[in-house]
Amino acid sequence: TAGTIDQLGKAVPNQATLSQIIEICRSWESSGVLNRRHDGDGTLLATYIKTLVCGDVKEEQPLNIGELPSLERCTKAYLALLNNSQLENTDRRLGQDMRHKLRGRVFGTTPSGYMGVFPAAAQIGDHICVVLGSSAPLLLRPTGQKDHYGLVGECYISGLMEGEGLLGPLPSLWQFGEVDSNDNRSFIWDGKKSTRTLEDPRLGTL
């Protein structure tokens, strides 16, 4: 388990408009769910923005995944939305992403400072689990029987989407590379020489 939910904001309805989503984001910020340091890399605002779009920013995705906005651009667009400013055509993707990612979901945090987007049915005390074979962390709820849990759904947790819950962060100078035709993710070493491999450098010698 990667922890439990200890704070939840207001859930986003399934048919929410962008303006309604922005109002709910304002309520998340004012309710105190952001008043803590995140354990992962980056500033609190950067982690929050990545969470709102479930990591769909250039810095978080493989190099060949397609055209994605940068984290800086998403941050500027989000702050513009909060200030009721009109977005330029090139920044409207943020609004589309927020509608797609946040409808029927809710923002929450863990005691250790992780931020996440969870199913709207999430409750405080639900367990966040990194499970082998699942591409995303799962939210589990104790059933009342010993060692029995019910599945609430998948969730996005900034800092836990790339196996960090099991393997830890990538070693220094390593980064995620491209995804090949078989959906295998490569790794790139940016030291004195350029090295690409399909072997996760966190595994070591098997």
pLDDT at residue 124, as a whole number: 95
Interval 181-201: pLDDT, tens: 777 777 777 765 577 788 888
Closest CA to 15 of 100, 121, 122, 123: 100
Q: What pLDDT digit, counting tens, does each position of 23-60 carry? A: 999 888 776 656 554 444 457 888 888 899 998 888 77
C-alpha closest to that of 18 among 81, 62, 74: 81
Give the length of the chain.
Answer: 206
Pull the structure tokens for residue 196.
């690409």
Q: Which SS3 state, helix, strand or coil, does residue 75 take?
A: helix
Q: What is the pTM of this model?
A: 0.82
CA 38 to chain CA centroid, nearest Å: 12
Q: Give me 138's structure tokens.
A: 């799962």
Q: What is the pLDDT of residues 146-175, one digit of tens each?
A: 889 999 999 999 888 888 888 888 888 887
Give the gyration radius of the chain's Cα atoms: 18
Using DSSP's 3-state secondary structure scheme, residue 77 falls into helix
- Separation of alpha carbons 204 and 24, rounded Å: 44
